[in-house]
Amino acid sequence: MELNGYTQLEKIAEGGMAIVYRAIQTSLNRPVAIKILKSALQNEKHAQEMFAREAQIVAQLDHPNIIRVIDRGTTENASPWFAMDYVEGTTLSQAIKTGRLDTAQRLRISIQVAKALAYAHRNNIIHRDIKPGNILISSDGNVRVVDFGIALISENTELANHNAPNEAGLTVGTPSYMAPEQRQGASHATPASDVYSLGVVMHLMSTGSLPKPDSPPPNEINPSVPKALSELILLCIAQDPAQRPSAEELTSLLLRTIKGRHLTEREIKDARATFPDPKDQFRLLDVLRETPMGAVFLFENRADRKLIVVKKVVGETGFKEASWMAKQRHPHLVRVLGASRNERIFIIVMEWLSEGSLQNRIAQPMELTQFLPLAIQLSDAMAFAHKEGIVHGNLRPSNVLFLKSQQIRISDFGVIHAEPDRAESDNTKPCPYSLKDEPPSEAGDIFSAGVLFYQMITGGPPLWRKGLLAPKKIFHEQPQALQTLIKSMIFREIEIRTIRFDEVLSRLRALSADISNAPPLL
């Protein structure tokens, strides 16, 4: 087997529809996993549709606990393929068989899969085949959910009807992990069906067996399972989908239930060193992110059970802005509760916003009615900051947080690259939200916001050809006033990017009013 741009192909797995190879990507000299449709299925329309949809779905998802598609093409004999990150490790299925998982590892796996599902569900994607064989565990304990080949996409998304196979009368998934409603037919699956499947996986990890109708609670099968966790597992595998928590709720419930027992000694030590708590008023629940430039921790106040976020940032960049934010109460700025520093790091203590970030919601294009309120709020916050002489300098999806489904707050003013979005970690692509060699400025914030706006309405960042914007078809379908506004915000030449957020805000409000007053379509 030969593939242009890849060498040393070695077969590592085979399923009914595809073969997976380990290979070396020659341009970066890094290992990748390449999934190739079996040649015998080249003329099978249903197999081709499922394979193409999997590549399209995963390519649009960007989450640390979901495998990432990095390339795609066809072989010399016309078999389609796509390349993914290679995970050096094992599957959860293999780990369960060998009995190598301790309590902390089982909890870490459960939380990471719940986070992956919450992200997918926010982007209207239902996996429909969560099982141990589709959960990869890297050598450092990080989880990747794989195999979106039978995923269901909601009808409100761009991919919903693209290459969608007819599933009338079909049942898809793995029976042992399938929710009752999913057994009635593939189209009956909902996000709650994925939660059921994860509940079955959690039951298997906790007890060594799959749940049966007459099974006792997990904590009675295995006394080392905390009662609260046992009850949560039973909640996930409730027969009635309405009784199950959402994946987002499950993540929060898991964190509150296990109270940091999934964390390593190193993570706990680092968190305590960052946020000394001599009176033991706060309980460490999770490490949300770690990078060479800092870390983000989630704590719970033991008295009132309110959650706070503690960010550690290496260096001084952003401390002035954090101190400024601590004095503000703007409706679209994150509440900073305090900031302090020493000669090496500074920390920011801020409110916890449980609805996630914009990064979790832009795998698919937004409807205009969803986009405009968010764009107006972002522009309002940025106009206020600029009037106060504060530049953000790092505006990107992960810094736009949700208080409610349609209410946002901006965070991390001045914190440059402390928390890069996952796409930026791939050094084959430049950061789309800023221009190389352009220092932080008001004009730079305008460019970043313009890229965000473009991504929100098209499902991906802008592409450039010879320095000129190459708009997606969906961009041309937007109102002309919005196209003109976004283009004026993403001029690559700073000299002609003169628009300010006051004007952006005014034009967005005018567009929103025009749409609200437009007659209904007949």
First to last CA, the chain: 56
| pLDDT at residue 519, as a whole number | 66
Q: Are 164 and 53 in contact (CB under 8 A)?
A: yes
Same domain, 79 and 25: yes
| pLDDT at residue 154, as a whole number | 63
User: Could you list the mean pLDDT of each consecutive 10-residue stretch along the chain, which spans 522 residues?
Assistant: 87 87 92 91 82 83 90 87 92 91 92 95 91 94 89 59 48 85 87 97 96 94 93 97 96 92 92 90 93 91 94 89 95 96 89 91 90 97 98 95 91 74 54 90 97 95 88 94 97 94 97 81 48
Q: Which domain holds residue 229?
A: 89-258
Reported residue count of the chain is 522
- The CATH number linked to 324 is 3.30.200.20
Same domain, 479 and 374: yes
Same domain, 330 and 398: no
| pLDDT at residue 431, as a whole number | 84
- Point out the domain boundary residue: 234, 258, 282: 258
DSSP H or E stretch at residue 368: helix 368-387
Same domain, 115 and 231: yes
Q: Are 117 and 247 in contact (CB under 8 A)?
A: yes
Same domain, 458 and 380: yes
| pLDDT at residue 436, as a whole number | 86
- Point out the domain boundary residue: 58, 85, 112: 85
Same domain, 431 and 484: yes
Question: Under DSSP, is residue 324 helix (H, G, I), strand (E, B) or coil?
Answer: helix
Same domain, 167 and 303: no
| Centroid of chain to Cα 497 | 31
- The CATH number linked to 403 is 1.10.510.10
Query: If we measure between CA atoms, which residue out of 190, 191, 212, 183 comes closest to residue 200?
Result: 212
The two structure tokens encoding residue 136: 């990869």
The two structure tokens encoding residue 302: 């033991």
| pLDDT at residue 166, as a whole number | 47
Same domain, 113 and 214: yes
Tell me which of 129, 380, 412, 445 is the catalytic residue.
129
- Point out the domain boundary residue: 85, 113, 144: 85
Phi-psi region of 500 (alpha: psi -120 to 50; beta: other; left: phi over 0): beta
The two structure tokens encoding residue 319: 């401390």
Number of domains making up the chain: 4
| pLDDT at residue 339, as a whole number | 93
Same domain, 366 and 510: yes
Residues near 10 by beta carbon (within 8 Å), at least 6 away in sequence: 21, 22, 23
| pLDDT at residue 134, as a whole number | 94
Residues near 317 by beta carbon (within 8 Å), at least 6 away in sequence: 414, 415, 416
- Domain assignment present for residue 522? The answer is no
Q: Is 502 annotated in the active site?
A: no
Distance CA 355, CA 374 (A): 14
Same domain, 109 and 200: yes
The two structure tokens encoding residue 522: 């007949």
